[in-house]
Amino acid sequence: MPDDMNATPEEPTRTSQSVPVADRRNLDADLVGIATEPGVPKKDPIVVATKITRTFGGLTAVDVEHLEIQRGVITALIGPNGAGKTTFFNLLTGFDQPDTGDWSFNGRSLKRVSASRVARLGMVRTFQLTKVLSKLTVLENMRLGASGQRGERFWAAPFRFLWSSEEDAITVRARELLGRFKLDAKEDDFAGSLSGGQRKLLEMARALMVGPELVMLDEPMAGVNPALKQSLLGHVKSLREDGMTVLFVEHDMDMVRDISDWVVVMAQGKVIAEGPPESIMADQRVIDAYLGAHHDTDITELEESVLAAEVEAELLADHDGDNR
């Protein structure tokens, strides 16, 4: 866990709509000059996955030939519904086992490593459908995240003096994070009483209690209101500034454009493209598979009226056709 949590400047991340491209590029110098084809090797990969396949009955959900995730940057994983993004997340984090393939984290193979061990190694995930522990308080949710607690051992647990000082230190750290995520006023509430967006924040904050090197967020923006979205964006960016690597699945293209340094596109279980966000948004294969032709143009009022007129004309024509 980085010590300078409070040193992170809140202002710029909260106010800016998007980080200027120039700023971002000096953060990820490692990605400059990398070819933008699927499976391209990175300079300093934290995750390397090779020939990962997972089938459910006759359906091949994931079939990734090769993928490397660069350390210290924010990588987005996008793709249409059913592309296998969440399944790929589950496979990488040990929540599901692939049929074939090998993958490593920090050079250590994760084949047949349990999900809890993967988390302890420093690769911590959140879930698409948030999993907060509703009947525990917000603060207890946070405390649970801390790794290697002495009081978690059966023989030490009944004796409070063995773990109380450690618990105090964990509580301090938990409050610090809750403050950063604007949940400090809620610490004594049951987590089940939080709103959907607050649950997302709590889940992310709790994942940070583990002290991860790689944070994997599964649709962090789903169901979050626009105001909260801005602060979530800031939090994700601050993770990178604290030296963590972030891999996230998201459908919100504004977010992808805003904060990711690198984008990986999946469709039908395969990685079909990867590269910096600007080039990915212009990639014809990605547009065909996922974004659609009108993805970056807002529909103007004029266009809208034209469209409406077209629809009306079609309906009239149909009506005439029926009458004839």
Partner 1 sequence: MDLISTPLHDAFSPYALSFVFAAMGLNVHYGYTGLLNFGQAAFAAVGAYAMGVAIASFDLPLILALIIGLAGAVLLALVMGVPTLRLRADYLAIVTIAVAEILRLIFSTSFKKYFHARDGVSGFTAGFRSINPFPEMPDGFLSFSRNDLWVMTVGWILVALVCLLVWALMRSPWGRILKSIREDEDAVRSLGKNVYSYKMQALVLGGLIGAVGGFIGGMGLASVQPDSFNTDFTFIAFTMLILGGAARVLSPAVGAVLFWALLSFLGVLLTKLSNGDNPIIPASFMSPDQVGNIRFAVVGLALMLLMIFRPQGIFGDKKEIAIDAR
Site residues for partner 1 per CB under 8 A: 93, 95, 114-117, 119-120, 124-127, 131-136, 140, 143-145, 147, 149, 151-154, 156-160, 163, 167, 190, 192-193, 206-207, 209-210
Side-chain half-sphere of 312: how many Cα atoms within 13 Å?
A: 6
| Tokens matching residue 115 | 């999900």
Which amino acid belongs to residue 192?
G
Residue closer to partner 1, measured from CB, 41 or 196: 196
- Smallest separation (angstroms) from partner 1 to the CB of 150: 8
Nearer to partner 1, 5 or 136 (CB): 136
CB of 140 to partner 1, least distance (A): 6
> Smaller CB distance to partner 1: residue 157 or 313?
157
Say if CB 139 and CB 229 are below 8 A apart.
no
Question: Least separation, in Å, of the C-beta of 45 and partner 1?
Answer: 22
Least distance in Å: CB of 256 to partner 1?
23
Length of the chain counted residue by residue? 324
Nearer to partner 1, 64 or 210 (CB): 210
Supply the DSSP symbol for 9: -
The two tokens of residue 156 are 């030490």
Q: Which is nearer to partner 1, 152 or 296 (CB)?
A: 152
> At its nearest, how many Å lie between partner 1 and the CB of residue 155?
9
Question: Could you please report the per-residue DSSP string of 275-313?
Answer: E-HHHHHH-HHHIIIII-TTTT-PPPHHHHHHHHHHHHH
Report in angstroms how near the CB of residue 143 gets to partner 1 at its nearest.
Answer: 7
What are the DSSP calls for 202-253, one per residue?
HHHHHHHHT--SEEEEESTTTT--HHHHHHHHHHHHHHHHTT-EEEEE---H
Nearer to partner 1 by Cβ, of 108 and 135: the residue is 135
